[in-house]
Amino acid sequence: MTPMDDHVLQTLKTSELVLTPSIIALNIDRSREAVSRRLTELSDRGFVERVDRGKYEITTVGEQYLDGELPVRESEDDTRSSLSGDD
């Protein structure tokens, strides 16, 4: 998980809304393209759900991560697997 991932998830959680990458980017002062890339990764890992074309919401897993209910080690292992293509 990256610091941007945390910002994206926190924005989705606090808004309690379905948001677009552009709206998230505006709120966390990042580019839409960078946010879109992170949302794709977060969606692949189950932290967010794409509910419509270009619209996302946080999942229960994403909320558990932010609340510290998921072991950090598990999150790190997931990231390594995704990066190495071991899925």
* Range list of H helices, the chain: 3-15, 21-28, 32-44, 60-66, 72-84
Q: What is the pLDDT along the chain (87 residues), one digit of tens a residue?
A: 999 999 999 999 999 999 999 999 999 999 999 999 999 999 999 999 999 999 999 999 999 999 999 876 545 455 444 444 444
Given a contact cutoff of 8 angstroms between Cβ atoms, the answer to whether 57 and 48 are in contact is yes
Only one residue has tokens 């379905």, namely 18
For residue 73, what pLDDT is reported?
52
Helix (H) or strand (E) holding 51: strand 48-52
Domain 3-69 has CATH 1.10.340.30: no
In the structure encoding, which two tokens stand for residue 12, read together?
Answer: 């989705």
For residue 85, what pLDDT is reported?
47
For residue 82, what pLDDT is reported?
46
**Residues sharing a CB contact under 8 Å with residue 22, sequence separation 6 or more, in sequence order:** 32, 35
The pTM score is 0.79
